[in-house]
């Protein structure tokens, strides 16, 4: 009886240990892939793919195979870029509180493993995208190249314009999704590109203000580090105001409801951004600005999808 009980307890401990290791591995992968960043980049791919089906008169059920290849392929390309970013920036991440849990910092993953994981993941993703359309594959490569080479390897450590360069990379995502179905020389994907480009700047500036000490300690020339928080708050407001322009170009495609919704959403963000110069706790304001930016992207994408869904047409 005692031997059976001991055996049972040992089995439970072994199972618990295995579950714990698996959970820790998943957590490490999440930090390596910058979970929220990955989702924020894949969402526009899906949204644009869905919209391209609608405007091309195609049905989702007839293109589900292409959908899987597009989503999996683009996710792998984006993941590969993020992994390579973590590999290259390990020296910076060691100096920043918000990146202390990344496996490249903790040593849970060796740098050599991370490097090859990034390379292989990128290659597999790009090859998969070639099975969609050449145009979608080209946009995937351009987004990867801008993020890894122009942003990570070149501008991030040297120029405050690194935020602009990084924003160009993320803006390619709707072009990828759309081009998998049809050529992206259409008003909707082009406007989505512009929105994603502008949106990423205040989103990133909010992070830079919130984590000012981190970036200062690491020596990364983010705008608030080089020119101060007040200048950054003004720049933040200017970019958000610029978002007011783009819904006008989508009236003919998505209708007046979308226009009113998008304008209202942007006005709400502008009101929040204007409070930055008077904020007693600028870090708390930056967190609110960051949260609103994510809500903006999610709601805008959600409304685009709903308005072009079969139940609405």
Ordered DSSP codes for 42-80? HHHHHHHHHHHHHHHT--GGGSHHHHHHHHHHHHHHHHH
* pLDDT tens by residue, 174-215: 999 999 999 999 999 999 999 999 999 999 999 999 999 999
pTM for the predicted model, two decimal places: 0.92
Burial of 313 (C-beta count, 10 Å sphere; 0-12/13-18/19+): exposed
* Pair 205, 80: CB distance under 8 Å: no
* pLDDT tens by residue, 111-164: 999 999 999 999 999 999 999 999 999 999 999 999 999 999 999 999 999 999
Burial of 10 (C-beta count, 10 Å sphere; 0-12/13-18/19+): exposed
| pLDDT confidence of residue 7 | 47
Q: Provide CATH code, domain 36-312.
A: 1.10.600
Domain ranges of the chain: 36-312
* Angle between helical axes of 229-242 and 251-274 (0-180°, round to 10): 160
Place of tokens 């105001």: 241
């Amino acid at each position: 009886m005692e031997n059976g009980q001991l055996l049972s307890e040992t089995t439970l401990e072994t199972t618990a240990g295995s579950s714990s290791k698996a959970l820790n591995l998943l957590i490490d992968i999440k930090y390596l892939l910058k979970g929220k960043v990955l989702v924020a980049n894949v969402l526009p791919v899906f949204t644009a793919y869905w919209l391209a089906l609608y405007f091309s008169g195609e049905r989702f059920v007839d293109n589900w195979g292409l959908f899987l290849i597009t989503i999996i392929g683009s996710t792998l390309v984006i993941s590969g870029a993020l992994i390579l970013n973590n590999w290259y920036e390990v020296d910076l991440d060691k100096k920043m509180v918000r990146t202390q849990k990344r496996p490249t910092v903790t040593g849970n993953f060796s740098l050599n493993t991370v490097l090859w994981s990034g390379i292989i993941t990128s290659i597999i993703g790009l090859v998969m995208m070639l099975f969609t359309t050449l145009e979608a594959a080209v946009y995937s490569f351009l987004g990867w190249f801008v993020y890894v080479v122009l942003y990570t390897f070149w501008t991030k450590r040297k120029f405050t314009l690194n935020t602009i360069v990084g924003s160009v990379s993320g803006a390619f995502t709707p072009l990828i999704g759309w081009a998998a179905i049809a050529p992206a020389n259409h008003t909707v994907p082009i406007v989505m590109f512009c929105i994603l480009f502008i949106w990423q700047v205040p989103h990133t500036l909010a992070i830079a203000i919130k984590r000012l000490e981190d970036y200062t300690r690491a020596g990364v020339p983010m705008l608030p580090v080089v020119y101060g928080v007040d200048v950054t708050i003004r720049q933040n407001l200017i970019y958000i105001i610029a978002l007011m322009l783009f819904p006008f170009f989508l009236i003919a495609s998505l209708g007046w409801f979308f226009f009113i919704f998008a304008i209202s959403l942007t006005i709400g963000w502008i009101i929040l951004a204007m409070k930055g110069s008077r904020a007693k706790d600028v870090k708390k304001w930056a967190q609110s600005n960051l949260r609103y930016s994510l809500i903006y992207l999610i709601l805008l994408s959600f409304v685009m999808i709903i308005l072009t869904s079969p139940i609405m047409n």
